Amino acid sequence: MITAEQKPIDEIREMIAPYRRILVVGCGSCVAECAAGGQKETAMLASTLRMAAKMHGEEVLIEEMTLDRQCVKEFVLLLDDVIDTYDAVLSLGCGAGVQSVADMYPEVPVIPGLNTEFMGETKDQGYWTESCLGCGDCMLYYFGGVCPLARCSKHLLNGPCGGSMDGRCEVDPDIPCAWQLIIDRLEKLGALERLEMIYPPKDWSLKQGRGPRKIIREDQQK
Amino acid sequence: MKDASRLKRVLEAGEFAVTAECGPPKGADPDVVLQKAEKLKGYVDAVNVTDNQTAIVRMSSLAACALLKDAGLDPVLQMVVRDRNRIALQSDILGASALGIRNVLCLSGDHQCFGNQPQAAGVFDLDSIQFVEVVRNMRDGGVILGGETLAVPPDLFIGAAANPFGDPLAFRAVRLGKKIRAGADFIQTQCIYNLERFEAWLAMARDRGFTERACILGGVTPLKSPGMARYMKNKVSGMDIPDALIKRMEGVPKEKQRDEGIKICVETIERLRDISDVRGVHIMAIEWEEAVADIVEGAGLFPRPDTDQA
């Protein structure tokens, strides 16, 4: 899932200040799972903004709507019927959602209401962790299902560094040392010999070598 | 021969090597480097120049190495993978060799969050083991990453660091082995205060045949005060300082504490010299270069061998 957190209310108010008719657009997918931009959060933010506007004596219309998926064109199209009513959209989608709305309605200002964080997991209620960088060449097999690129603070493919103490990372003792997790996993899997191998430098061309990436699947196209 | 690494010559002659550390200044004054060099000259075989240590911006390691080289010392260029990608690292390796620098120490580097530029992007394009292998392939194979050949390969004695006190202990020897297989000629360790743990680590390395393939230099740092010992124990990750040592520092009056720190350091070196697989000592007297001469003399390691005759 893509995780995100809501921007500070003051920052949002500053960005929407020039506009009088604002549609707050939530997203029912990842950002709903991480309680940042789902239906509930969208309703709450819209209500907070309306109250703040009222307190400051500002004449504004703030309404809300939540799409199932803000990053998928066929869902974004649902805005067609309502978008003309507003002079700006405040998007509670991830960065992809914001851009997908902006791309569809080039003449409408689309303002981000979230800070998009990372691809991660829901570990517990209110607790999300980063687990994937989207490198384009998954190596999890070699590392027992723990990604050192995403979870080691120094992205070491041949770790751990000298700062691993009691299974904790030197950057922050709240962070488990990814390499300790890898060693523990490989031991359980009886595959400790994988640690002896020198993993060569990562091929970053698969992530950033030719600019922004795209996937084209002809078998999926009509 | 005079162009080769002095450190390499000393080790090849079977002598117990002595290296020290010189931290470049937070400023552009070359005299700071040269004054440090003056304190070390004659007492050590080579001088490590740290690379923006603890992620604090300082004069570049490469530039300070060139200054030391001109002053007649044998610099060890420390290079961290935190700040430069593979293009810049390989480029600096060629530049270092062109300047007559003959030793390199390949490191991961302290994480950028610890320094004065916490908003910097951490590069970590290569890790330290991959970097060692890249330098070895440049030197021995005359090729850069990707296989293109070099008209003139760099001439460098390749080093790596090891922390016998990091966790997990069993894997520390595996990692040392990887560094040596990648091409490390010499290894400088984290500061040794816990000799038992160091010996346990060294025994693992010996059993796996690593000590025959690379020269291990034990790291030591003289303590200035019990406060410094407590700080290192609690705040510097990967540091192992036994409580008995802190008590010993606390047990002497304030004005004698630095002398006691030097004494402990000399005793550690004496014990390290008795271990056959320890080929030298790396003295990291942090912002206390004048202590190096006392330590080297105290440990009976002065004068340094004249390897030009060798």
Q: Do A166 and B166 touch (CB under 8 A)?
A: no
Q: What is the pLDDT of residue B2?
A: 53
ipTM score here? 0.93
Across the interface, of B122, B168, B178, the residue whose CB is closest to A183 is B168
Q: Do A170 and B82 touch (CB under 8 A)?
A: no
The answer to whether residue B296 is domain-embedded is no
Which chain A residue shows the shortest CA-CA distance from B126? A201
Report whether the peptide linkage leading into residue A112 is cis, meaning its omega lies within 30 degrees of zero: no
**Helices B169-182 & B195-207 angle (0-180, nearest 10):** 50
pTM listed for this prediction: 0.95
Which chain A residue shows the shortest CA-CA distance from B174? A196
Domain at B89, CATH number: 3.20.20.220
Which residues of chain B lie closer than 8 angstroms to A199, CB-CB? 130
pLDDT tens for each residue of A79-118: 999 999 999 999 999 999 999 999 999 999 999 999 999 9
- Residue A153: domain span: 133-208
- Residue B207: domain span: 6-222+278-290
Across the interface, of B86, B122, B174, the residue whose CB is closest to A196 is B174
Same domain, A41 and A104: yes
Taking a C-beta distance cutoff of 8 angstroms, is the pair B260, B248 a contact?
Answer: yes
A125 to each of A43, B170, B252, how far by Cα in Å? Answer: 21, 36, 53
Which chain A residue shows the shortest CA-CA distance from B238? A163
Same domain, A53 and A102: yes
Strands of chain A (E only): list them.
Answer: 2-6, 21-27, 61-67, 88-91, 110-112, 114-124, 127-132
Mean pLDDT of A23-47: 98
The answer to whether residue A220 is domain-embedded is no
Domain at A62, CATH number: 3.40.50.2300
The count of domains in chain B is 1
Across the interface, of A153, A157, A170, the residue whose CB is closest to B127 is A157
Strands of B163-257 (E only): list them.
Answer: 186-191, 215-220
Same domain, A177 and A108: no
Q: Do A159 and B181 touch (CB under 8 A)?
A: no
pLDDT tens for each residue of A120-154: 999 999 999 999 999 999 999 999 999 999 999 99
Q: What is the pLDDT of residue B19?
A: 98
Same domain, A20 and A50: yes
Q: Best interface-test mutation with A: which of B127, B134, B143, B241 has the largest number of A CBs within 10 A?
A: B127
Query: What is the spatial distance between Cα A4 and Cα A119, in angstroms, rounded to a whole number?
Result: 9
The answer to whether residue B210 is domain-embedded is yes
The answer to whether residue B259 is domain-embedded is no
The C-alpha of B257 sits at a distance from chain A's nearest C-alpha, in angstroms, of 28
pLDDT > 90: what percent of chain A?
Answer: 93
pLDDT tens for each residue of A52-82: 999 999 999 999 999 999 999 999 999 999 9
Q: Which amino acid is at A191?
A: A
Taking a C-beta distance cutoff of 8 angstroms, is the pair B206, B276 a contact?
Answer: no
B89 to each of A156, A220, B86, B240, how far by Cα in Å? Answer: 16, 43, 5, 31
Same domain, A17 and A71: yes
User: Which ranges of chain B have pLDDT less than 50?
Assistant: 1, 310
The answer to whether residue A221 is domain-embedded is no
Q: What is the pLDDT of residue B308?
A: 67
Which residues of chain A lie closer than 8 angstroms to B82, CB-CB? 154
| Of B80, B89, B90, the residue nearest B114 (C-alpha) | B80
Q: What is the pLDDT of residue B309?
A: 53
